[in-house]
Amino acid sequence: MRAARLEAIRTLALREVAKPRPGPGELLVRVEAVGICGSDRHMFKGEYPTALPVTLGHEFCGIVAEVGEGVSRFRGGERVTGDPNIACGWCARCREGRPNLCDKLTAIGVFRDGGFADCVIVPEGQAYGLPGDLDPLHGAFCEPLACCLHGLDVARIQPGDSVAVLGGGVIGLLMVQLAARAGARRIAMVTRQPVRRAVAISLGATEAIDPADEPVAALRDAVGGGADVVLECAGVPETFVQGLRMARRGGAFVLFGVMPAGVAVPVVPFDLLVNELRIESAWLNPFTHQRAADMVAAGTLELDRLISRTIGLDDVPGVVGAPAAAGDIKVIAVP
Ligand code: NAP
């Protein structure tokens, strides 16, 4: 079968590899659709740790093709989405109900072979059923949506709140929709590309701000003195620094974007102190994959407008290895 292998930092190539066999408790899933994530680009550049070599691709859905010994919930033929993040279940953090902070956390498409391939191995417990008539392209959104749901849980948006979303990639545009469903009264999207600002407005944002024009002041004008909740979804130093200044006194700032490991940003602790900001981070998808799968199955969110194009596996190395093309929101590979 074909697999897009990260063989070294900045070396990603489509290779012919042996089709894996499912071990006990595992499924072999024939990949139907697999999203390209900003994190794949971080991994390509060595900004996020991975195994090497490894097949990337952690936002996949597909059809169960074979089941290993002892599998009880699937027989073959079902459409599933895989939760790529595999916790040990036994460490101190797992036992306090925080599997995303597991000491031995591993992940499909990061530390074990993932979905930029014709097939992927998924432990049964990581697979969640999707309807047989669901568009598989929608199934590829379960993983990023599950992460966003955790971000929303952490943010604790209240009905009537004002929310600033920094970064109009797929994450930011999912966050806009989730914030609207959580009852936010004002939702301001801050992102550089006009096309993304327009999409954000069409998805429920009430304001769209160009960060080139004094974004902190513009945001404060737009929502009346600072946002109740700021969601940092860009993963760049500027948005971290700006986002902290966009929150109202006593408001919340949630770090969601991934900045390369080791990058430091200047902050002014005095301002954070006297404004009593609630500063949180939201990492991965603890206990949210089922909710995401249910929302995708129910068609709760607008997803088609987030899909810029589909590509074949052949194109994955070129697309992951280049910066996101202007105007692209979500690119999905269809093996
Ligand atoms: P993405 O497509 O790269 O979107 C981020 C967008 O932020 C960029 O495309 C860019 O859009 C915008 N941006 C860049 N600089 C900006 C600036 N100075 N001001 C305002 N906007 C700016 O990535 P994504 O897939 O949506 O993911 C967003 C981030 O979340 C990534 O860092 C990703 O790794 C991370 N992530 C985190 C988790 C988690 O569990 N915490 C899970 C999944 C993803 P414009 O060109 O329009 O400005």
Backbone angles phi, psi at 272, to 5 degrees: -65, -35
The pLDDT value recorded for residue 274 is 97
The stretch 140-147 carries a mean pLDDT of 98
Query: What whole-number percentage of the chain has pLDDT above 70?
Result: 100
Element (H, E) at 38: helix 38-44
Q: Is 227 in the pocket of ligand 1 (CB under 6 A)?
A: no
Residue-level pLDDT at 260: 84
What is the pTM (predicted TM-score) of this model? Answer: 0.97
Q: Is the pLDDT of residue 98 over 90?
A: yes
Beta strands in 43-152 (DSSP E): 54-55, 59-67, 79-82, 85-86, 106-107, 119-123, 127-130
- What domains does the chain contain, in order, with CATH numbers? 2-141+303-333 (3.90.180.10), 148-281 (3.40.50.720)
pLDDT on residue 279 = 98
User: Residue type for 164, please?
Assistant: A
Cβ contact 140:60 at 8 Å: yes
**Cβ 100 under 6 angstroms from ligand 1:** no
**Nearest residue CA, atom 25 of ligand 1?**
38
CB 243 near ligand 1, within 6 Å: no
| Long-range own/partner contacts, residues 103-107 (CB < 8 A, 24 or more apart) | 107/58
Beta-strand relationship, 162-166 and 186-190: parallel
Closest residue CA from atom 45 of ligand 1: 192
Residue with tokens 């290895």: 321
Q: What is the pLDDT of residues 16-44, one digit of tens each?
A: 999 999 999 999 999 999 999 999 999 99
Burial class of 77 by CB neighbour count within 10 A (0 to 12, 13 to 18, 19+): exposed
Between the CA of 21 and the centroid of ligand 1 the distance, in Å, is 36
Between the CA of 234 and the centroid of ligand 1 the distance, in Å, is 3
pLDDT at 224: 87
Compute the distance from residue 335 Cα to the ligand 1 centre, in Å.
25
What CA–CA distance (Å, rounded) separates 214 from 321? Answer: 32
| pLDDT tens for each residue of 311-325 | 999 999 999 999 999
With a CB cutoff of 8 Å and minimum separation 6, the contacts of 63 are 29, 30, 32, 77, 78, 79, 80
Phi, psi of 152, rounded to the nearest 5 degrees: -65, -40
- CB 238 near ligand 1, within 6 Å: yes
Average pLDDT of the chain, as a whole number: 97
The pLDDT of 292-313, averaged and rounded, is: 98
Each residue's pLDDT tens digit, 155-213: 999 999 999 999 999 999 999 999 999 999 999 999 999 999 999 999 999 999 999 98
pLDDT, tens only, 103-119: 999 999 999 999 999 99
Q: Which atom of ligand 1 is nearest to the CA of 196?
A: 47
Q: Is the CB of 198 under 6 A from ligand 1?
A: no
- The DSSP bridge partners found for residue 333 are 34, 311
Ligand 1 atom nearest 197 alpha carbon? 47
Atom 29 of ligand 1, residue of closest alpha carbon: 257
Q: Is 48 in the pocket of ligand 1 (CB under 6 A)?
A: no
For ligand 1, atom 10: residue with the closest CA: 167
CA gap 283, 154 in Å, rounded:
10
Contact 231, 252 (CB under 8 A): no
Please report the pLDDT score of residue 327 as a whole number: 86
Average pLDDT on 288-294 reads 98
Tell which atom from ligand 1 comes closest to the C-alpha of 41.
34
CA distances to 53, 110, 114, 204 from 177, in Å? 37, 28, 28, 6
For residue 153, what pLDDT is reported?
98
Centre a 10 Å sphere on the Cβ of residue 11 and count the other Cβ atoms it contains.
13
Q: How far apart are CA 302 and CA 110, in angstroms?
A: 28
Which pLDDT band holds residue 261 (cuts at 50, 70, 90)?
A: confident
As a whole number of angstroms, the distance between CA 5 and CA 17 comes to: 10
85 lines ligand 1 (CB under 6 A): no
The closest residue, in CA terms, to atom 48 on ligand 1 is 192
114 contacts 58 by C-beta, under 8 angstroms: yes
- CA torsion, points 145, 150, 154, 157, in degrees to nearest 10? 40
pLDDT digits (tens, 9 = 90+) for 201-253: 999 999 999 999 899 999 999 998 999 999 999 999 999 999 999 999 999 99
Q: What is the mean pLDDT of residues 126-142?
A: 98
